[in-house]
Amino acid sequence: MRGAWLLVSVGCTLSFGCASMTTETIAEPDPAPIVSRESVAANGELIVFRRGTDSAVARTFEERDLPRIREVAREERVELREFTIDDRAPAEIGITPLLVFQDHRGRAIYQGRLSTPDRLRNFVRTSRATVQGDEPFVRDGVFVRREGRSTVAAAIKVTELSGAVPEGYDPEKFRAESRRFLATGFAELKAVDRVALSRSDRSFYLDFHPYRSEDGTFYLSGALFSQFDCHRPVFEAFDPPERSSWEDRADAWRAMGQRLEAGLLSTLASARTGDGFDAVPGRIAIASWTSLGLELPPPPVQSEPNPATAELATSWTLATPAESEPPRLLFHFAPPVDHYAGEARRMTASLVFDEARRYASLRGTVSVDVASVTMGDPYLDASLQAVDVLDGATHPESTFVIERAHGETESLTFGTGLPVRLEGQFTMKGRTIPLTALATFEPWIAENGEVQLVAEGGFELRLEKPFGISGPDGPSPAKDTLRFRFRFRFVPDRESD
């Protein structure tokens, strides 16, 4: 399977170099409320790039999608900036409409359909809490279509010949000739050995299903899939299939190539599936983010704790998250497929120290409700619970049991926040493996005067072995490497203390 991971892509924070753009700000009848710079520093900004075109995609965005984005911005307390591209744009902006999130650590380009508010929230929440790489997505042996600044890559998948397989049939030779035959049917898609896709570029998958009957008739059907949904095609060419004699099968391949390319071009120009866009023309000049007043916000101001009269607990329990709090447990794949990301929303956790609060004494448990794992899309979330992914029905809980801890300081104290190495046993899908996580533990005093403890860190897992989970389409080992970031806020466990 190309994996449930392909069903959606969410944004990832990039370390952009100074790219570019000038635009004009558009006055809207229902703008997001003015947000203070302090709030921007804490929550970030969401930037909408668009062009003044009258395309079906642009009209649908203005009428259907932009109101949703404004509502999400309000709910997530992020400032919304809306810009119409005139004659300049940042180098990273290859298509419109396009969303960019930025905070003091970097920028994130939204990769996904603007179809549900939950998906947009997931993008904002994950972008606000994680910093990810800027490596391009390199694809080999694909067909590409370039228009202006945009690139669309189309990967070819040919299933095994079914039906009456002729004597001497060579599967490798058959697949190689199919690519040559398809190329004669494509008018705009061109074969390339390798292409590096940016965050605003798009990928599609062209699936072909050949069949040979007993009388030697060759039948060929096909389907087009978006990178955002590998289970439901955006275009199908099954009824009727293309047909020819076995000897003249090149004609069937050519005709099917024409049909699927036409389906692709129609999808790109349409707002029906959410995969359409308007390419930014090549004549649009490059200008810097700073020239637009879009420099990265400053880091949020942290209040200093006053530990003079504060006492640290020995037993801690996970606090109920505040409404504005970032996700507590996030995951994403390694670059360049790090736009596949999500979070777990329900979990419990506890920590116990000895009376001296020594890290060597630390023991703890984190338990995650597998049903709460989300990537911001109900259909995708259901797929994540499947037997070949998380198998949530059979294994409803994943746990990490901390057995040992090694800190750069001997004990938990105010004002340190130095790394701590956590070692223990991680269990997922009923399989347990050793796991090491690096974290910092920092006590602080909340506005209500309560002493709290923030544990922040991360770890990574390989999925295929031992968990038997296939990652997204992409290069190895990135597609097999899932990275986790956590930020847990603990409060004293009064019952234990």
Position 79 confidence tier, pLDDT thresholds 50, 70, 90 = very high
Q: What is the DSSP string of 419-437?
A: EEEEEEEEEETTEEEEEEE
pLDDT at residue 12 greater than cutoff 60: no
3 state SS of 38 = helix
What pLDDT score does 234 carry? 95
Under 8 Å CB-to-CB from 131, ≥6 apart: which residues? 13, 15, 105, 106
What does residue 382 show for φ and ψ, rounded to 5 degrees? -65, -40
CATH of the domain at 177: 3.40.50
Do 42 and 188 share a domain, yes or no? no
Give the Cα-Cα-Cα angle 38, 43, 47 (nearest 5 degrees): 105
pTM, full prediction: 0.68
pLDDT digits (tens, 9 = 90+) for 195-233: 999 989 999 999 999 999 999 999 999 999 998 877 789
The stretch 349-353 carries a mean pLDDT of: 97
What is the number of structural domains in the chain?
3
Do 63 and 153 share a domain, yes or no? no
Instruction: Please report which residue ranges of 77-187 form alpha helices under DSSP H.
Output: 117-129, 171-185
What does residue 355 show for φ and ψ, rounded to 5 degrees? -65, -25
In this structure, are residues 126 and 327 in contact, taking their beta carbons and an 8 Å threshold? Answer: yes
The pLDDT mean for the chain works out to: 86
Could you give the CA distance from residue 368 to residue 241 in angstroms, rounded to a whole number? 47
Q: What percent of the chain has pLDDT over 90?
A: 60
What pLDDT score does 13 carry? 32
Work out whether strand 217-226 and strand 190-197 pair parallel, antiparallel, or are unpaired: unpaired
| Domain that residue 155 falls in | 137-269
What pLDDT score does 22 carry? 32
pLDDT at residue 66 greater than cutoff 50: yes
**Does residue 232 sit within a domain?**
yes
pLDDT digits (tens, 9 = 90+) for 87-118: 999 999 999 999 999 999 899 899 888 877 77
**Does residue 497 sit within a domain?**
no
Could you give the CA distance from residue 55 to residue 270 in angstroms, rounded to a whole number? 9
**Does residue 175 sit within a domain?**
yes
Do 131 and 145 share a domain, yes or no? no
pLDDT digits (tens, 9 = 90+) for 320-338: 988 767 789 999 888 777 7
CATH of the domain at 106: 3.40.30
**Does residue 244 sit within a domain?**
yes
What does residue 484 show for φ and ψ, rounded to 5 degrees? -120, 140
Do 286 and 341 share a domain, yes or no? no
Do 478 and 415 share a domain, yes or no? yes
